[in-house]
């Protein structure tokens, strides 16, 4: 008899927001304007 414990896996609840790879999370691009990659949020 085989027992399948698929529910024993730890749940990964990491937020799906990451520091923008374009502006580094500042929301501002190198020109001093709003980052077009994250729209000033700092996350993408």
> For residues 20 and 27, is the Cβ–Cβ distance under 8 A?
yes
2 vs 29 by CB, closer to Zn ion: 29
CB within 8 Å of 23: residues ≥ 6 apart: 29, 35, 37, 38, 42
Binding site for Zn ion (CB under 5 A): 20-23, 35, 37-38, 44
β partners of residue 19: 43
Least distance CB 1 / Zn ion (angstroms)? 50
Least distance CB 13 / Zn ion (angstroms)? 22
17 vs 21 by CB, closer to Zn ion: 21
């Amino acid at each position: 008899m085989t027992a399948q414990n698929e529910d024993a896996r730890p749940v990964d609840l990491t937020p799906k927001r990451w520091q923008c790879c374009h502006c580094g999370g500042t929301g501002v691009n190198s020109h001093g304007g709003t980052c077009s990659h994250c729209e000033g949020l700092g996350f993408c």
